[in-house]
Structure 1
């Protein structure tokens, strides 16, 4: 493997992918949420830099071309697994996550089957927008988990009626319950909307790849 800077960044992103889940094994929340968010954002930023630098410095390599989409998929799949696992298993969250995971596995299988002709399934501009939407959605959903956990910590031990009085404005909000609730709601809805957008782009690009691969899937006689 040629150890130029773009390939090093790609490799670090690949290593960071399982680190997102490991954060929740060794740290308590909300620290795990913060560490996972920072790690995910850092890895997402390198996704842009390694491609840009490889093209600008003419350091594109076969190993980098192979590892780049693997690192992207590993990050998205592991992060979605963590988010769904720590959520209330809402179907509005599980369904788009399922579409995304299914498409990633399906397209990877197509590329493996096509072998030398896998170049037919080159990454399209729409697929890059799909990856961007996925990463932004996941980052926002990690942020929602942070707001949710801080809200729970602030309200811990409070009487439900007192919480209702604080949120309705009848009692002074000394612990910031209202802004934490607003932050949780906004990041929740925005993250979910972006995840559905990413799921729609995921299905569109998946069908596009299948259409391109169909001529190579026909039985020869």
Structure 2
């Protein structure tokens, strides 16, 4: 059984936020107006993003890293992003192609990491700076697209969110090819 500690609990909190985040978009009419739904969803997504950073920081600082935490943390991250992308596509705030690229990459790289771990070479596909940039662009894009209807300095947030989503999609492909290239070096 995995050890329970603050970093693991924060990761579980992120997973538990997913149904709450999702149900916001399916509440009966009149329970919340669209602006309230947008802001609550953005708040929950931001909380999940912050706990993602914070649980990793605490695990390293307090020396509470574990194999279970290393498994659960990326699962929680990917679940939240995938759910957010599917919801944003379904309500017409972003393009399906962006979601397909990002979700396809996540599945591909997760499978690659699992395979490399079975070969004892997981470190060859460890998280790189390009992956961190991709994640940052995704988080910014999703937050902007969740807020949606609040003009900020006269900027259309849907347009800006989709610009960040395009950047995220480009970085997603770039990072996927980077990780595949790193894995291929192990077979030469």
Q: TM (normalized to structure 1)?
A: 0.74
Max Rg structure: 1
Distance 1:208 1:194 in 2: 20
Match for residue 57 of structure 1?
62
The partner residue of 2:158 within 188, 204, 214 is: 188
Please name the residue that 2:6 is paired with: 5
**What CA distance in whole angstroms lies between the structure 1 residues aligned with 2:70 and 2:15?**
13
1:211 alignment partner in structure 2: 181
Q: Say whether residues 1:84 and 2:112 are aligned partners.
A: no
Deviation at 1:216, TM superposition (A): 5.5
| CA deviation after TM superposition for structure 1 residue 181, in Å | 10
User: What CA RMSD, in Å, does the superposition of the two structures yield over aligned residues?
Assistant: 2.2
Of stretches 23-32 and 38-47 in structure 1, the one that deviates more from structure 2 is 23-32
Aligned position for 1:126: 130
Distance 2:129 2:153 in 1: 35
Structure number having the greater helix percentage: 1
**Cα distance change, pair 27–121 in 1 and its aligned pair in 2 (3 A):** farther
For 1:197, the equivalent position in structure 2 comes to 167
Picking from 125, 144, 167, the partner of 1:140 is: 144
1:41 equivalent among 23, 36, 46: 46
- The aligned residue for residue 157 of structure 1 is none
TM-score (norm 2): 0.85
Moved more, 16-25 or 47-56: 16-25
| 3-state SS of 2:92 partner | coil
Output aligned runs, 1:18-33, within 5 Å: 18-28=19-29, 29-30=33-34, 31-33=36-38
State the alpha-carbon separation in 1 of the partners of residues 123 and 86 from structure 2. 29
The structure-2 alpha-carbon separation of the partners of 1:24 and 1:214, relative to structure 1 and needing over 3 Å to count, comes to same
* Structure 1 pair 181–11 and aligned structure 2 pair: CA distance change class (3 A): closer
Any conservation in 2 of the 1:114–1:216 contact (CA below 8 Å)?
Answer: no
Q: Distance in 1 between matches of 2:152 and 2:61?
A: 44
**Deviation at residue 215 of structure 1 after TM alignment:** 5.0
Could you tell me which runs of 5 or more consecutive residues in structure 1 were left unpaired when the two chains were aligned: 148-179
Number of equivalent positions: 181
5+ residue gaps, structure 2, are none
